[in-house]
Amino acid sequence: MIIYRILFLNLIFVSVAILASDKSDGTTDEQWNKYLEHKATWDKMLKDRYDNELKHTPPKPPWIKYPNRHPTDIFWRMGNGEDYLADYFGLYFKYSSKAEINAYKLKYPEHTDWLGTYESIEN
């Protein structure tokens, strides 16, 4: 069961990075440039969220934020759960220092249902 959770979380975090890597066939240069501008704006907004909010008040891990949601629940693949994992929890790990991440892990040990979450988000 743990391997399924790890694979599931990897799919969420890796898919976001893969989606924006290459211009697809049939996309015009104008469309691609608009996309890149939008992506740059979005990335800046997320970095600002980290600097202004998450760095000072780290997000709760998903098992604390949403204690009644199992890690394999569809909630984590669409809507509020997916947004929380990508735009808060994952974002914190993306920009935090190793020392901050280690302190976070000590403060919030992984719940048994969520074993492997920290490892998958750091990769």
Identity of residue 114: W
Decide if pLDDT at 57 tops 80.
yes
Alpha helices (runs of H) in the chain, residue ranges in sequence order: 2-19, 29-49, 62-65, 80-84, 90-95, 98-107, 117-122
- CB-CB contact of 86 with 17 (8 Å): no
| Total of domains in the chain | 1
Q: Taking CA 10 as the corner, what is the angle to CA 17 and CA 72, rounded to the nearest 5 degrees?
A: 130
Q: Which range of residues forms the domain containing residue 97?
A: 1-7+47-123
Judge whether 109 lies within some domain: yes
Judge whether 96 lies within some domain: yes
pLDDT tens string 63-106: 999 999 999 999 999 989 999 999 999 999 999 999 999 999 99
Judge whether 23 lies within some domain: no
Q: Which of 89-98, 102-111, 114-123 has the lowest mean pLDDT?
A: 114-123
Number of other residues whose CB lies within 10 A of the CB of residue 65? 15
Judge whether 52 lies within some domain: yes
pLDDT tens string 6-21: 545 555 554 454 455 6
Judge whether 35 lies within some domain: no
- Mean pLDDT in the chain? 87
Residue 7, pLDDT score: 47
pTM, entire model: 0.73
Judge whether 103 lies within some domain: yes
Judge whether 17 lies within some domain: no
Contacts of 63 (CB under 8 A, 6+ apart): 71, 110, 111, 113, 114
- The proportion of the chain whose per-residue pLDDT surpasses 70, expressed as a percent, equals 83
Mean pLDDT for 55-69 is 97
Q: What CA–CA distance (Å, rounded) separates 119 from 116?
A: 5
